[in-house]
Structure 1
Amino acid sequence: MYPSEYIHFLAHFHGDRDYFECHELLEDYWKKTDPKNKDSVWVGFILLSVSAYHHRRSNFSGAERTLRKAIMILKLQSDSLTKLGLNKVDFYHLLNRQISALQKGESYRSISLPICDPALLEFAKKACEQKGFIWGNESDLTNNSLVHRHKLRDRSSIIEERTRSLKTRKSSE
């Protein structure tokens, strides 16, 4: 009923709070199922994860800017939120509270998405448990490999792809 990538996204979002992994999971899924659609619900969730990642690192302006983009997309995808087992009214309230916290410069606090489908909640909690995470755990702010993950990863393939893309653009000019 729900894509496994979405269930694993929820497990990470509510378990180990690895927002970088949340981004990776849904980006791969988005590219397979709805490529090039920048208004896809998956892009909205990707941006939500990126915002939480920035907020945890005290990058308030980046977190707010990214969250505003996520909100715009997620409002366009209102029906999809319901189909994905979320209470959209509570979800929008949560997102607006996050914007307010960012504007006030409030420290990061873990959030939980308002899952209203009991079956989805059970699937996501089971996936969380299978990964060895505890559902609803607060983010471990002392875990540098979690908090600063983008700085610690191997970026060679990304750099290669950018170089290849730049060469392609230049040769077509």
Structure 2
Amino acid sequence: MYPKEYIQFLSHFHGDRDYFECHEVLEEYWKGIDSRNKSSVWVGLILMAVSTYHHRRSNFNGAKKTLEKAIRILDTQAGELLKIGLSPSLLHQLLIERLSLIEKAAPYYSYNLPICDSNLLKICGSYCEHEGFQWGKDSDITNSGLIHRHKLRNRANVIAEREQSLRMRKGRK
């Protein structure tokens, strides 16, 4: 019923709180199904995870910018949010509260998304158990590998994609 990448996204978001992995998993899925649609519900969720990653690192400017974009997208996707088991109104309220915290430079703390499908919760709980992390556990803010995960990744593919995009743009001019 739900894409496995979405299950992985939710499980990382609520389980090991690896927001970088949330971004990676869902971005790969989005690129495979709807990469031209920048207002996709998947893009909104990706941006929300990126904002949370930035917030936890006290990058308040990055957190604010990405969360504002996420809110703009997700506010137009109420029907899609319902289809993927999230409450649009509760999610909006939650994200506005998070934005307020970020604007005040308040410290990060873990939060859960308003999942309104009990079956989805069971599926994600089972996935977390299988992967060895606990649903709803607070983020380990002492784990620098988790907090600064972007510094540990191999960026060769990202750099190559950006260079190719730049060459294509220059070719059109």
Query: Is the TM value for this pair above 0.5?
Result: yes
- Give RMSD over aligned pairs: 1.2
Q: 43-52 vs 1-10, which deviates more?
A: 1-10
Query: 1:7: which partner in 2?
Result: 7
Q: Distance in 2 between matches of 1:169 and 1:93?
A: 39
Task: Specify every segment of 5 or more residues in structure 1 that has no aligned partner in the other structure, as ranges.
Answer: none
Query: How many residues get paired?
Result: 173
How far is 1:158 from its partner? Answer: 1.8
* Pair 1:81 & 2:81 matched: yes
Amino acid at match of 1:90: L
Q: Distance in 2 between matches of 1:38 and 1:119?
A: 29
Query: 1:153: which partner in 2?
Result: 153
Amino acid at match of 1:12: H
Q: Distance in 2 between matches of 1:10 and 1:168?
A: 35
Partner deviation per Cα, 1:91-110 (whole Å, 9 max, x = no partner) = 11111110111111110001
What TM-score do the two structures reach when normalised by structure 1?
0.95
How far is 1:65 from its partner? Answer: 1.1
Amino acid at match of 2:58: S
What TM-score do the two structures reach when normalised by structure 2?
0.95
Task: Specify every segment of 5 or more residues in structure 2 that has no aligned partner in the other structure, as ranges.
Answer: none
Query: 1:109: which partner in 2?
Result: 109
Query: 2:137: which partner in 1?
Result: 137
Query: 1:96: which partner in 2?
Result: 96
Partner deviation per Cα, 1:128-160 (whole Å, 9 max, x = no partner) = 111101110111111111100111111122222
Amino acid at match of 1:78: A
Preserved CA contact (<8 Å) 2:75 2:88: no
